[in-house]
Amino acid sequence: MRVPISAVCEMTLLVLTGWLTATQTGDDKELKQLEGTYEMVSGDENGQKLPEKVVKASSLVMAGNKHTVKVGKETIIGTHKINSSKTPKEMDATDTEGPLKGKTYVGIYKLEKDIFTVYFSAPGKDRPKDFTTKTGPGEILHVWKKK
């Protein structure tokens, strides 16, 4: 018995749609877990530890795929997308407002209970491989605690 080509295409489409939905659902759940207001615990930028005064004046609000970051007196607004199926988990953030408007940072992140750690490479550079590397020029490593 031969199966018509249209039936094969239909089955293939159903399988692909199911796979894409499952992948999106995992990331959607992860984005939901990331949502909230955070205060900075520590930060390194450009290979330098952020001063305690700047750390205490910093905040992060995440809602869906949008974020607002205040580091000291600077405010950055942007969007992010994640891939929670990778190890370490990946996040790409694009600034829509701020000094690097239009730039995209590729990074990695982890969420352990209420602690969110993110490590971004400088725009145009390769994604960090792990959290043990000391930051360098243009790199950002922030540790945030959910309020």
State pTM to two decimals. Answer: 0.81
3-state helix, strand, coil in the chain (%, to 5): 25, 45, 35
| Residue 99, preceding peptide bond in cis (omega within 30° of 0) | no
Task: Please choose, from the candidates 83, 137, 145, the residue with its C-alpha nearest in 3D space to the C-alpha of residue 114.
Answer: 145
Q: What is the pLDDT of residues 17-35, one digit of tens each?
A: 343 444 456 899 999 999 9
Domains of the chain and CATH, by start: 31-146 (2.40.128)
Q: What is the pLDDT of residue 135?
A: 79
Task: Look up tokens 């997308």; give the residue.
Answer: 81
Q: Which residue ranges in the chain fall short of pLDDT 50?
A: 3, 6-23
